[in-house]
Amino acid sequence: HKSRMLKDDEATEDTGEAVEDTPDTTRAPRAGAAAAETTAEEERERVKALMREHCTLKQGDVWYITDIAWFKRWKQYVKYDYLYMVTASKPGPIDNSMLLEQQQQQQQQQQQQQEEAGAKEQKEEEEQTVRKGLGEDYDFVLLPEAVWTVLHGWYGGGPAIPRPVKRGTMLYVAIRPLVLLVVKSSDLQRPVTAKYYKDTPLGKFKSEMCAKMNLKEADVRVWDYHGQKRLLLLKDDSVPLEQAHIIDGQYVLLEEKKADGSWPEEPKPNTLTYGGWNSYGYSSYSRPQEAPGLAGLQNLGNTCFMNSGLQCLSNTAPLTNIFLSGAWRHDLNRDNPLGMNGELADAYSALIEQIWRGNSAVVSPHNLKSVIGRFASQFSGFQQQDSQELISFILDGLHEDLNRIKKKPYVAIPEFTDEKDSVANAEEAWKCFLARNDSCIVDLFHGQLKSTVKCPTCHKVSITYDPFCFLQLPLPQITTRIISIIVHTRDPNTAPTRYGVTVPVEGTVLDLKTALSRMCGVSAGSFELFDVFGYRMFKQFADNEGLDTITERDIIRAYEVAPPDHKDMVRVTILQHKKQESNWSGKRWYASLFGVPHVVSVPRTCTYDDMLHTCFLELRRYCDQTALDQWLSADHGEDEESSNSEPEQSYSPSTGLSSFSTTRDTDRCECATCIRRRETAEAELRHQKRREHEARKERRAATAAAVAAAVPGSAIELRDVGGYCPEGVSDTSSDSDFGAWRNCMRKYSSCLSVYADKDEEMTSSDDSSETTEATTAAEEEPLPAEPVTEAAGAVAADALVEAPLPEPEPEPEPAVNPAQTKLMRALHAMFTLTQVDQLGTRVARPDVSLDRHHGDSLAHLADGCVVGVLWSTAAYTKLYSAATEGDVRRDPSCDIKLAEAEQDVSLESCIDLFTAEERLAAGNAWYCNVCKSHQLASKKFDLWRMPPVLVVHLKRFNYKSRYFRDRLDTAVRFPVKGLDLTTKVGSPVDPTHPPLYDLYAVSNHFGSMAGGHYTAHAMNKDTHQWYGFDDSSCSHANPDLDISPTAAYMLLYIRQDVLNALPATPPAPAPAPAPAESSSSSSSSSSSSEEEEEEDE
C-alpha cells in the first residue's frame, strides 16, 4: 500500500491497540438506505466524487475491504472508465464472504442457521478476520467509508469488513493483524495464539498476555523466540511490535523467574547474535568462513527466494564495496518521504558486514527480513515469494534511502514526436530523471530505454526515453492456450459437454465466450461463466476480465441462460444440499452442500411449483433412473419425506413427465424467435391456470357460505390447498368425530380443508384481497381442529345436502391431470426450496419469496438470486447417484494439442524479442491526445543507455495476476564472458565504456511456482572464484557446468571496464555513532558482532 502510506508529520503518535479495538461492523449502513432508485450514471458520478474527496489516508479513519470481483462487476455496470465499456447487468448484493478465513466462513454459515441472535453477536468479531495471503487489487479493494456507505445502501449484502487507518512508520490500513504464537517458559509445548496489530506497544502486549495466561507481569520478560530459540531480549515496553522486529507467524516467549526470584541464564553472545550458527536450531559448533563473503544464509521459513537474491547482491562488487567502506553513510537520507527512514540501508549494511567481515559460515538475515516486512507486507510472512520482486524492492528502497536529492523538484516527463535529434532528446530525458533520482543505485544499475508508440488511426508518433533497473526479457512461447470448459445448455435433457477452447493467452473472457459460441452454436451473450469450487459458484467471470485469472486446475462451467434482451426472464443459481447429522446438542441435522451447481433462466412470474419442477428437470440426470421411476409412481402424501406405499400399476412415469415437458421437447428449434414464442405461450398458460384457480376459489367461497348458513354457531375456514390434505387431517382417517363432515365435504370438493372453531369472528382465508393481520397469522399457523360430535356431524351433513347451493357456471371446471398432481406430490417429497446466498447459507431476502405450502403462489425471484435445493433424506438415499456427476460428454476439441514453443533459445534472441514491435492488448490501450481516445497502438523498445551492472530478468513466470503463473522451462543459452551488446544498443557507443559484459551472479529457480526452490551461483569479488549458494550451504562451482540453462532466472552482468577497475576489498571504516532512530535490536546485533570480532582476534 505504498501509494497510501503517506507520512504525516503533524499527526499525533498513535498508541498500538489489539485486534479487539477494531471498528465494529455496526458502523456499516443497512441495505436499502437509499431512498430512491438511482441510475448507473448517477451511481458512477456519485462514487467518483466521493473517491476524489476521500482519497487520502487520515489517522483514525475507517476504510472497508470489498470483494474486487463484485466491485469490477459494478464498474462494468456503470461504465466507470474506458476499461469497463462492455454492457453488463446490475450486480447483486455485495458478497465479501470469500474474503474471510475458511473456518470462519463455516462458522458464519452455521450461525446464520441458528436462531439465537446473541450467539451471532458474540462471533461477529471473528467473522471479520480476512484470509491470509489476500492482495489488494487482486482479491479486494479498499474503499473509504463514504463510498462503502452509498454502495451498501444501494446494493446491501456484506459482511462489512471495516479496517482502521493506523500509524506505524507510515499511515496504513490495517488489513490483517500479526498472528503470534505466545508460550511461557513453564509450558513451551502449548502456544497461545494472539492477534495484534504491528503498532501495538510491547508493554501493552506484555500486560494483556500476562493477564490472559495468568502470569504476574513483574515476574515476566519478553523474548523474540523465532525458531523457538531465544534470539533477543525485548526490554523497551514503549517500542511497537514492528520496531521490535516481531513478524507474522513467529513465536514469542514470556520467560518467568525461577523459584528463587532470579532470571534464567541468558544465551551466550555468540549464540544470541543473528550471525551465529546457533540462532535457529543448529548445533553449537560454529565453523569459520573459508574466505570473506563465503557465508550461507539461514532459511527462516520459505525464505530461499530472499537468500538467493541477497547472495547475488552481496557479490555485486561495486555495491558491496560502497557499504564496506562506509561511503553510503554520506548519502543517507532519512527524511525522504518515499524512503524507509534509512532503516533498510542500516539493516542491509549490517548484513553485508556479517557476510564479509564476520566469523561465521552461516548468517541469519532475520533483522533485514523484519525491516523489509514492515515496509512491504507481501514479504512479512513466510510464504514463498519471487526473488526478482525482492531484489527490485531492496534496490528501490536503498535508492530512496541513499538519494542525494533532499528535496525533489517537479519535473515533467519529456515526450518527443520525431527522431531527428535522438541523442540530445535522450540526454534531456536522462537529466530530468537525475533531477529527482541521484544515488549509488542509479549510478550502478540504471539504464535507459527508448520507447516508440505509433497510433494506428492518426499515425501520431510518441517517443519517450524511460529509465530501467531490470532488463526484463520475454521467452519465446506460444500465443494461444486451450481452456477446458463444461457447457450446460438450456435443454435439461442434454448432458453437459466438455470443450477444449483455443483462446489468446492475453485474451479476455469475451474472447472465450465468442470462441465457445462458434463451437456450440449458442450466442455468446447467452453464456454465463463460473469457477465452480466447493459445490458452489466460487467466482463469476466478467466479459472484460483477462483469461490470466483462469488456471489449469480451475473447474470452469458455462451455463446457457436467456438472452439479455429477455427482460421477463431472471437468472437463478441452484445449489444442492443434503441433510447431515449434527453433533450440536439440540440440533439433529444441518444442510451440507454437495453435487454440481446449476444456473437456469425462469420467468419472473414463476411459482414455487414451477421452480420446483425446473430444479427437478435439471437435477434428475443425477438420479438412478429405475429408482426415480419407482419414486414418481409411488403415492406421496403432503409434506412427507418418504413414501412406503406401493406404486400404482396404472401410472406411467413417462406420462407424468410428458405433461410437464411439452415445452422442453428435445427436438424443438432453438432459434431466438422460437424460444420467445414458447416462453410467451408458457406465460399465457400460467395466466390461464391462475384465472381458473381464482374461479374455483369463488365457487368454493359460495359453498362455504352455504355451509356456514346451514350450521349456526360455527365458523368454517375453507382453503384451497392444491389437492393436498391439510395438516392434521388424513384421507384415511377413521375418526368418527370427523366422519360426517368429511363425507359431506367430499360431495362438493376434494380440495377443501375444513376447520371447526367456536370463534365466530374467524373469516375465510380465501378473501386474500381483504385479509386482516389476524387472518394472515391464521393462514401461516393454522388453528388446530376441535372435535365435533357425531350428532353434530350428521346435522351438518343433512343441512349441507338440503341447503340451496349456487348454480354452477356454464363453463366446465378445468380437468385436473391426476398424473400431474401425483408428480408434484412426488417432487414435494423429493425437494424443498429455500433462499440462500452465494455460499449456500440460508438467508432472508425481501425480493425472494419461496413458500412450499402455497405451490401456486408467485416466487418473486430476483435476477441473480440463489435457490437452495434441500434433498429429503429418503430421496437422497434412494435416488441420488454420485457417479453420475462425472457423466460429461467429451467434444473432440479436448484432444487438440497446441504446438510447443521452442525449447532452446539464446539470450540474444530474447533481446531481439524484447525489442520487436508489438501491438498493445485491449486492456493496455494507449491514449492518443490527437484522436482523444484510447487506441491499440504499436509499441517498440530499443536499448539506449546501458548501465555498469546489468540485471537481466528472464520472465519464466507467464502471469499478469497472481492466479495464473505458468512456469516456462525453456533452456536459455547465455555467455559467461563477453556478452556483446554493441549491435543491440541504439545510441552511439562510447569506446571507453563499450557494452561488453561478464556474468558474475545467477539466481536459479527449480520446480513450480507453488513448490519451487531458489538457489544462487556467484563469483567472489576478491578471489574471482565461482561458488554455489543453497541457503546455509556454500560450495565450489563451475559456471559452465553447474548453472542450469532451464533454471536460470536472473542473470547479473558487470561491464568489463568496471570489473577491471575494481579496487581490492576496502578497509573497515571508522566506527560511526549509531543513528538516533535505530531500533534496539539493531544496536544489540551490532554490539554483539563487535564482541564476536574481539573474541575472534
Amino acid at 1040: D
Phi, psi of 1040, deg, nearest 5: -75, -20
Q: Name every residue whose Cβ is closer than 8 Å to that of residue 39 and which is 6 or more positions away in sequence.
A: none
| C-alpha dist (Å) from residue 789 to 743, 745, 786 | 14, 16, 10
Please give the distance of CA 343 from its chain centroid, rounded to a whole number.
33
Phi, psi of 970, deg, nearest 5: -65, 135
The span from the CA of 295 to the CA of 278, in Å, is 14
The answer to whether 697 touches 766, Cβ cutoff 8 Å, is: yes
Q: Name every residue whose Cβ is closer than 8 Å to that of residue 747 and which is 6 or more positions away in sequence.
A: 800, 801
The answer to whether 695 touches 809, Cβ cutoff 8 Å, is: yes
Q: Name every residue whose Cβ is closer than 8 Å to that of residue 15 and which is 6 or more positions away in sequence.
A: 199, 201, 204
| C-alpha dist (Å) from residue 33 to 24, 36, 149, 160, 733 | 19, 9, 9, 15, 53
Q: Name every residue whose Cβ is closer than 8 Å to that of residue 887 and which is 6 or more positions away in sequence.
A: 495, 496, 621
In terms of DSSP bridges, do strands 480-488 and 556-560 run parallel, antiparallel, or are they unpaired?
parallel
The span from the CA of 440 to the CA of 402, in Å, is 7
The answer to whether 907 touches 973, Cβ cutoff 8 Å, is: yes
Q: Is 317 helix (H, G, I), strand (E, B) or coil?
A: helix
The span from the CA of 278 to the CA of 72, in Å, is 50
C-alpha cell at 998: 561478464
Catalytic residue among 152, 577, 1005, 1017: 1005
Active site residue 1013: yes
The conformation of residue 1002, written as its DSSP 8-state character, comes to E
Catalytic residue among 1013, 1017, 1024, 1036: 1013
Helices 1080-1096 and 366-375: crossing angle, nearest 10°?
Answer: 160
According to DSSP, the residues that pair with 18 across neighbouring strands are: 196
Active site residue 636: no
Q: Name every residue whose Cβ is closer than 8 Å to that of residue 774 and which is 6 or more positions away in sequence.
A: none
The answer to whether 280 touches 354, Cβ cutoff 8 Å, is: no
The answer to whether 236 touches 221, Cβ cutoff 8 Å, is: no
Which helix (H) or strand (E) segment holds residue 559: the answer is: strand 556-560
C-alpha cell at 118: 446473541
- CA atoms within 13 A of residue 896's CA, in its CB half-sphere: 15
C-alpha cell at 25: 461492523
CB atoms closer than 10 angstroms to residue 645: 10
The answer to whether 473 touches 958, Cβ cutoff 8 Å, is: no
The answer to whether 365 touches 351, Cβ cutoff 8 Å, is: yes
Rg for the chain (alpha carbons), in Å?
A: 37
Largest CA distance in the chain: 124
For 977-984, the CB contacts below 8 A with 24+ separation are 979/907, 979/1053, 981/911, 981/943, 981/946, 984/908, 984/911, 984/915, 984/943
Three-state SS string across 97-144, please? HHHECHHHHHHHHHHHHCCCHHHHHHHCCHHHCECCCCCECCCEEEEE
The span from the CA of 426 to the CA of 386, in Å, is 32
The answer to whether 821 touches 870, Cβ cutoff 8 Å, is: no
Phi, psi of 272, deg, nearest 5: -80, -35
Q: Which residues are catalytic?
A: 1005, 1013
